C-alpha cells in the first residue's frame, strides 16, 4: 500500500521538475516549492484521519461537504472552531442565519485592562461547509461534534494586541454601514480563511485573471470549476491551493507562530480524543481550512511525533452566546469584497437546484424550508468506499477551462431588474439602459476571456451604463446590484436563544404589543394615565436608552426628570436592529437593573471619575433605579472625589447637578440626606480655597469661576446653617486679584453681592472704563464678565441691562461689532439660565410699544446723579410711628431679655419721645429704606 501511495503523484512530480528547470536558472528554489506542494498534498491525502479542507463561506466547499457527509456518514466530526463555543451551537436552530457565535468578557483577569471588553466571533452562514457539518452532527443520532481549535482565551493569549487576527478591509469596499457594524470590534475567528498572504502573488493572479479583487478571482477560477468536481478532485485541489499560499506566505514570525500553534493545538486535541474514546480514525472527519490542512508541523497526523503543551486558560470569565450577523459584517471583518458573500449565497442556491444535492439543515431552523418530498428522497446511509488515492491533480490542471454557455434569459432578467431598481431609487434609467447593460456585460466578459458574464461583470456593466454624475438616492448602482443578486441578508437570534436579560426585556415590554425582534424603527405610544402597567414599560425604556447605543430606544415625547411623574410618552424603538447590543448586555448581568447599577458603580469608582460624573451617576440612580441606597453610596463617593480635585473644570456641571438634587430632596424628602449636607459644607470650603487661584489662573475660564461663585452664593444659607463661616468667603474674595477684564467684572459683582461695593460705585467704575480711550476696546470683555455674573448674582440683571445699553449707545462700531459674536456665544452657552433673566428685565425696563420709544427715557438717566431721589424724612415726626410698640411692649421686652438689657417703659404720653434715638441716628433707617426702595 505504501509503495502505491508513494507513486501516486509521480507523474505530477516529473512534470513540475521539468517546468522548474525550464522556468528558473537553477531548479533548486522553484523545484523545492513546487515539489513541496505536491508533498503536502500527498501527505494530507495519505493521512488515516480524513482531512476535509474548506474555504470560508465557499458554496463549493459547502456542496462538497454535504455530498461527503452523505457518503461517509462519519461518527465523529472534528471542526476548526474555538472549543469553548461547543455548548452554544445547539441554539443555532432557534436563529435565522447568518448569525455569529460569540465569546464575550467584560472583566478580565490576566489581560491588560485596556483590551476590555474582549469579544471573539465566528460567523456562520448556510452556504458554508462549517454549518453543514454542524447541522449533520447535531441532528444525526450517534454522531459527536468536537471543536478542536484554541479556546477564546487562547486567542488573546497568543496575540500581541486585540485585532491582530482581523484582515484589513478591502480598499474597494464601501464605507461601513449599520449592517457592517454588527460584529463591533470583535476579533474574528477565521474558519477556513484562504487568501494569499504574498502581495505580489495576489497582484499577479488578479492581473492575469482580468479581475478586480480576490473574491472575483476565487469565484471565477475556483468556485465555478469545483462546483461539479468529485470529492477526490475537490480535496486535492483545495490542498494544493492551501499549500501554495502557505509556502509563498511572507515570513511574519508572529503570525507564522500562531498558525503553527493552532495546528499543533488541533492535532493534540484530536489525538487525545481518539485515544480517550477509542474512535477509529476511519470513522472520523477533520474539517479545517485548506491553509491548515497542508500543515508541516511535527504534530501533524494521528501518528504525529511532536508533543505540544497547551497552556491553561486565564482566570477571565467568558460568556457565550449568539449575535446577529450579516453578509456586510462578514465582508468587512474578514476583508472580503463588498457583495461577495451575497453572491456566494446566490451561487449556493443555484448549485443546489442544479445538482439536486440535499443540504443539511438543523431541525426547526428559522428562515429555511425543507420539503417533505426532498426529505423522502434522501438515500439510506451506506458505508462509504475508501477514498481514492489516485492522482486527480494532473488531469484537473491540464484540463482547459469549461466555458459555460451564455444564459441569455438569466442575463436579460438581471438587466431588466437592475433598471427597475434604479428607477425606484431616482435614476433616469430606461429600456435602452437595460439593453446597454446586457450588451456591455457580454462585452466585458469577452474582454476578460469569459464566455459567460459573471455577477461581477454584470455589476461593472450596470455601473458603466446607469451610474450618472451623482447618486440621487441613498444607494448607488453597485449597491443596487448587490441587493438584486441576493442582498445583505441579516440574521436574527431567536427568543429561545437569547440570554436571560434580553428575554426579560422582551417580556417586560410585551404590553406595548410590538414585534420587538423585527428590524427597523417602530413607534410606541405610552399613555400611563389610562394604563398604569405602561409605567413599568417606561422604566425599562429609559434604562435601555441609558445602556444601549443611540437609536435603539429614542424618546420622541416625554422626558425623565427628578421629581416628575410621566403621563404620556412616545418612543422610537429599534431593538431588533440593535440586537447585538442587547445580547451583550446579557453577558453583564441577569437584569438591566443589575447591569445599570454595575455601570454606575464602574463610572463612579473609575480612575477617570470626576465630581460631575459621580453626581450624574447619583442622579441616574435616582431617576432610573429609584434606589436611595445606591444614591447615598455614590453621593458619599462624590465627597471623596471632590476632596481630591485641584481644578475647577467641572464646576458648572457640579453646580447644575447639585442644585437639581437639592431641589429634588427638598420637595420629596422630609430631611436632606447626610451626604448632600456634607457635600455642601465640603464644597463651600473647597471652592473658597480655590477661588483666589482660579481668579488668577489663565486656564480657568470665566464660566468656571462664575460657577464657583454660584455654588458659594446659592448654597451660602444652607452652608452657614450647617456650621460654615462666612468670613472664609469674604477672605477668599478679598484675596482675589484677577488681571483678565472679564474676571475683574465678575469680582466686582461678587463684592457687590457681599456688600463691599455699592451700585453707585459699580456704575462709576463702568463710566470710568467708557471714558478711558485706552480701555474702551476691552470694555466688551468686562460686559462678558457681567453676563457670567448673572449666575452667582442674578440680582444684577437690571445693572447688566443698563451696562449693555450703555455699550450699544457709546461703543464705536469697530469695537462693538466684533464683540457681538462673543455676546451671542455667551448667551448660547448659558442661555438656559442667563437669557431669561435678561429678557425679563429688559421687558420690564424698555417700553412695550414702538410708539412709546421716542418719549421713553431710561430709568438710569431719569434719576439725577447727585441728588437723592428719596423724599426727605421728617425726623421730628418719626417718633409718632411708634404707637404700636407702646401698645404691645411684649416683643421689645423679649428682645431686651435676649440681649441682656435692663430698663423700664416710660408713661404713655412721653413714650413718643422714645423715638429720639432714631431722630439722633437716622442713618440706619435711611439705609433700610434705600434697600427696600431699590428696584
What is the reported pLDDT for 366? 66
Does residue 658 have a pLDDT over 50?
yes
Q: How confident is the model at residue 843 (pLDDT cuts 50, 70, 90)?
A: confident
Contacts 24+ apart (CB under 8 A), 924-933: 925/873, 925/878, 926/870, 926/873, 929/870, 929/873, 930/870, 933/870
For the stretch 694-707, what's the b/e string if a residue is b when 16 or more beta carbons lie within 10 angstroms of its beta carbon? bbebeebbbbbbbb
Cα distance between residue 523 and residue 534, in whole Å = 15
Dihedral of the alpha carbons of 631, 634, 638, 639, in degrees to the nearest 10: 90
Does residue 212 have a pLDDT over 90?
no
What is the reported pLDDT for 787? 85
* 221 or 137, which is more confident: 137
What is the reported pLDDT for 708? 92
What is the reported pLDDT for 580? 87
Question: Residue 523 phi/psi, 5° resolution?
Answer: -95, 130
* 867 or 477, which is more confident: 477
Over residues 91-109, mean pLDDT: 87
Does residue 350 have a pLDDT over 70?
yes
Q: CA angle 656-662-665, nearest 5°?
A: 140
What is the reported pLDDT for 620? 92
Contacts 24+ apart (CB under 8 A), 614-620: 614/638, 614/641, 615/653, 615/654, 615/657, 615/658, 615/661, 616/653, 616/657, 618/657, 618/661, 619/562, 619/657, 619/660, 619/661, 620/546, 620/596
Enumerate the β-bridge partners of residue 103.
Answer: 120, 320
DSSP calls for 823-865: HHHHHHHTTTTHHHHHHHHHHHHS-SSGGGSTT---HHHHS-S
* 162 or 548, which is more confident: 548
CB 343 within 8 A of CB 484: no
Does residue 867 have a pLDDT over 70?
no
User: Which pLDDT tens digit goes with each residue over 779-835?
Assistant: 888 888 888 888 888 888 888 888 888 778 777 888 878 877 877 776 666 555 677
User: Which pLDDT tens digit goes with each residue over 323-346?
Assistant: 888 888 888 777 777 778 888 888
Containing 65, the helix (H) or strand (E) segment is helix 59-72
Among 3-12, 532-541, 763-772, which is the least confidently predicted range? 3-12
What is the reported pLDDT for 13? 55
Does residue 250 have a pLDDT over 80?
no
What is the reported pLDDT for 173? 44
Over residues 53-57, mean pLDDT: 84
Q: What is the CA radius of gyration of the chain?
A: 41
E strand residue ranges, 309-413 = 319-324
Percentage, residues of the chain above pLDDT 70: 81
| Alpha-carbon distance values, 93 to 96, 376, 495, 537 (Å) | 8, 21, 11, 30
Residue 576 burial by Cβ neighbours in a 10 Å radius (0-12, 13-18, 19+): buried
Q: How far is residue 46 CA from its own chain's centroid?
A: 50
Enumerate the β-bridge partners of residue 284.
Answer: 76
CB 78 within 8 A of CB 284: yes
Does residue 613 have a pLDDT over 90?
yes
What is the reported pLDDT for 31? 55
CB 463 within 8 A of CB 456: no
Phi-psi region of 184 (alpha: psi -120 to 50; beta: other; left: phi over 0): left
Cα distance between residue 612 and residue 655, in whole Å = 9
DSSP calls for 247-292: HTS---HHHHHHHHHHHHHHHHHHHHHHHHHT--GGGEEEEEEHHH
End-to-end CA distance of the chain: 113
Ranked by mean pLDDT, the top range of 7-16, 365-374, 569-578 is 569-578
- Mean pLDDT for the chain? 80
DSSP letter, residue 623 = I
Q: SS3 breakdown of the chain: % helix, strand, coil, rounded to 5?
A: 55, 5, 35
Q: Does the pTM exceed 0.85?
A: no
Over residues 753-758, mean pLDDT: 88
DSSP letter, residue 88 = G
Over residues 898-909, mean pLDDT: 67
CB 577 within 8 A of CB 519: yes
Containing 101, the helix (H) or strand (E) segment is strand 99-105
Cα distance between residue 192 and residue 288, in whole Å = 6
β-pairing verdict for 568-573 and 50-54: unpaired
Amino acid at each position: 500500500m505504501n509503495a502505491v501511495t508513494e507513486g501516486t503523484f509521480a507523474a505530477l512530480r516529473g512534470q513540475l521538475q521539468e517546468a522548474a528547470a525550464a522556468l528558473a536558472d537553477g531548479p533548486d528554489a522553484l523545484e523545492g516549492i513546487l515539489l513541496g506542494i505536491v508533498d503536502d498534498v500527498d501527505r494530507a491525502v495519505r493521512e488515516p484521519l480524513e482531512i476535509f479542507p474548506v474555504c470560508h463561506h465557499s458554496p463549493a466547499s459547502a456542496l462538497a461537504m454535504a455530498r461527503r457527509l452523505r457518503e461517509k456518514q462519519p461518527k465523529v466530526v472534528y471542526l476548526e472552531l474555538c472549543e469553548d463555543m461547543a455548548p452554544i451551537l445547539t441554539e443555532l436552530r432557534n436563529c435565522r442565519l447568518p448569525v455569529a457565535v460569540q465569546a464575550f468578557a467584560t472583566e478580565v483577569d490576566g489581560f491588560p485592562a485596556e483590551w476590555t471588553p474582549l469579544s471573539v466571533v465566528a460567523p456562520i452562514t448556510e452556504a458554508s461547509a462549517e454549518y453543514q457539518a454542524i447541522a449533520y452532527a447535531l441532528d444525526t443520532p450517534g454522531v459527536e461534534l468536537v471543536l478542536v481549535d484554541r479556546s477564546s482565551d487562547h486567542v488573546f493569549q497568543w496575540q500581541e494586541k486585540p485585532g491582530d487576527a482581523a484582515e484589513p478591509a478591502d480598499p474597494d469596499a464601501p464605507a461601513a454601514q449599520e449592517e457592517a457594524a454588527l460584529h463591533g470590534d470583535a476579533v474574528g475567528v477565521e474558519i477556513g480563511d484562504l487568501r494569499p498572504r504574498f502581495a505580489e502573488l495576489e497582484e499577479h493572479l488578479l492581473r492575469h485573471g482580468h479581475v478586480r479583487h480576490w473574491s472575483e478571482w476565487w469565484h471565477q477560477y475556483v468556485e465555478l470549476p469545483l462546483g461539479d468536481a468529485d470529492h477526490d478532485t475537490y480535496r486535492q485541489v483545495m490542498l494544493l491551493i492551501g499549500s501554495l499560499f502557505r509556502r509563498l506566505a511572507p515570513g511574519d514570525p508572529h503570525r507564522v507562530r500562531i498558525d503553527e500553534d493552532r495546528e499543533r493545538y488541533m492535532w493534540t486535541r484530536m489525538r487525545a480524543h481518539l485515544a480517550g474514546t477509542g474512535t477509529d480514525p476511519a470513522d472520523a472527519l477533520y474539517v479545517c481550512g485548506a491553509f491548515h490542512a497542508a500543515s508541516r508541523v511535527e504534530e501533524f497526523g494521528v501518528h504525529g511525533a511532536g508533543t505540544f503543551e497547551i497552556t491553561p486558560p486565564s482566570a477571565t470569565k467568558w460568556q457565550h452566546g449568539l449575535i446577529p450577523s450579516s453578509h456586510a459584517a462578514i465582508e468587512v471583518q474578514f476583508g472580503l469584497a463588498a457583495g461577495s458573500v451575497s453572491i456566494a449565497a446566490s451561487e449556493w442556491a443555484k448549485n443546489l437546484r442544479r445538482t439536486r444535492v440535499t443540504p443539511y439543515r438543523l431541525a426547526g431552523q428559522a428562515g429555511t424550508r425543507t420539503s417533505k418530498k426532498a426529505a423522502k428522497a434522501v438515500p439510506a446511509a451506506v458505508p462509504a468506499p475508501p477514498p481514492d488515492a489516485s492522482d486527480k491533480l494532473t488531469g484537473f490542471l491540464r484540463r482547459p477551462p469549461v466555458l459555460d454557455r451564455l444564459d441569455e434569459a438569466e442575463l436579460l432578467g438581471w438587466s431588466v431588474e437592475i433598471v427597475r431598481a434604479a428607477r425606484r431609487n431616482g435614476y433616469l434609467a430606461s429600456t435602452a439602459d437595460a439593453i446597454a447593460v446586457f450588451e456591455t456585460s457580454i462585452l466585458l466578459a469577452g474582454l476578460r476571456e469569459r464566455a459567460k458574464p459573471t455577477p461581477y461583470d454584470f455589476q461593472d456593466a450596470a455601473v458603466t451604463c446607469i451610474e450618472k454624475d451623482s447618486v440621487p438616492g441613498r444607494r448607488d448602482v453597485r449597491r443596487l446590484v448587490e441587493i438584486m443578486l441576493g442582498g445583505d441578508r441579516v440574521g436574527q437570534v431567536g427568543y429561545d436563544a437569547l440570554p436571560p436579560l434580553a428575554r426579560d426585556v422582551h417580556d417586560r415590554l410585551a404590553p406595548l404589543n410590538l414585534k420587538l425582534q423585527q428590524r427597523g424603527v417602530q413607534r410606541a405610544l405610552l399613555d400611563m394615565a389610562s394604563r398604569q402597567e405602561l409605567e413599568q414599560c417606561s422604566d425599562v425604556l429609559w434604562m435601555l436608552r441609558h445602556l444601549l447605543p443611540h437609536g435603539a430606544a429614542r424618546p420622541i415625547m416625554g422626558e425623565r426628570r427628578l421629581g416628575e411623574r410621566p403621563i404620556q410618552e412616545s418612543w422610537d424603538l429599534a431593538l431588533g436592529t440593535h440586537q447585538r447590543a442587547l445580547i451583550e448586555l446579557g453577558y453583564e448581568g441577569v437584569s438591566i437593573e443589575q447591569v445599570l447599577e454595575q455601570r454606575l458603580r464602574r463610572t463612579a469608582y473609575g480612575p477617570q471619575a470626576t465630581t460631575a460624573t459621580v453626581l450624574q451617576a447619583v442622579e441616574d440612580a435616582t431617576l432610573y433605579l429609584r434606589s436611595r441606597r445606591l444614591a447615598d453610596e455614590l453621593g458619599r463617593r462624590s465627597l471623596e472625589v471632590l476632596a481630591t480635585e485641584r481644578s475647577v473644570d467641572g464646576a458648572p456641571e457640579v453646580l447644575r447637578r447639585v442644585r437639581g438634587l437639592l431641589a429634588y430632596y427638598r420637595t420629596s424628602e422630609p430631611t436632606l440626606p447626610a451626604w448632600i449636607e456634607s457635600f455642601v459644607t465640603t464644597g463651600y470650603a473647597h471652592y473658597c480655597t480655590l477661588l483666589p487661584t482660579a481668579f488668577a489662573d489663565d486656564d480657568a475660564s470665566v464660566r468656571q469661576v462664575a460657577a464657583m461663585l454660584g455654588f458659594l452664593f446659592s448654597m451660602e444659607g444652607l452652608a452657614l446653617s450647617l456650621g460654615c463661616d462666612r468670613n472664609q468667603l469674604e477672605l477668599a474674595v478679598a484675596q482675589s486679584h484677577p488681571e483678565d477684564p472679564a474676571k475683574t467684572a465678575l469680582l466686582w459683582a461678587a463684592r457687590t453681592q457681599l456688600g463691599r461695593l455699592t451700585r453707585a460705585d459699580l456704575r462709576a467704575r463702568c463710566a470710568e472704563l467708557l471714558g478711558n480711550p485706552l480701555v474702551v476696546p476691552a470694555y466688551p470683555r468686562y460686559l462678558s464678565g457681567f453676563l457670567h455674573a448673572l449666575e452667582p448674582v442674578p440680582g444684577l440683571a437690571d445693572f447688566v441691562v443698563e451696562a449693555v445699553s450703555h455699550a450699544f449707545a457709546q461703543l464705536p462700531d469697530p469695537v462693538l461689532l466684533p464683540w457681538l459674536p462673543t455676546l451671542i456665544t455667551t448667551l448660547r452657552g448659558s442661555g438656559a439660565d442667563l437669557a431669561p433673566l435678561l429678557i425679563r428685565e429688559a421687558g420690564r425696563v424698555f417700553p412695550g410699544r414702538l410708539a412709546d420709544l421716542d418719549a421713553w427715557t431710561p430709568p438710569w438717566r431719569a434719576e439725577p446723579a447727585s441728588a437723592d431721589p428719596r423724599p426727605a424724612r421728617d425726623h421730628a415726626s418719626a417718633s409718632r410711628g411708634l404707637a404700636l410698640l407702646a401698645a404691645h411692649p411684649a416683643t421689645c421686652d423679649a428682645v431686651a431679655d435676649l440681649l441682656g438689657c435692663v430698663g423700664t417703659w416710660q408713661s404713655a404720653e412721653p413714650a413718643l419721645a422714645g423715638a429720639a434715638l432714631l431722630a439722633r441716628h437716622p442713618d440706619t433707617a435711611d439705609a433700610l429704606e434705600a434697600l427696600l426702595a431699590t428696584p
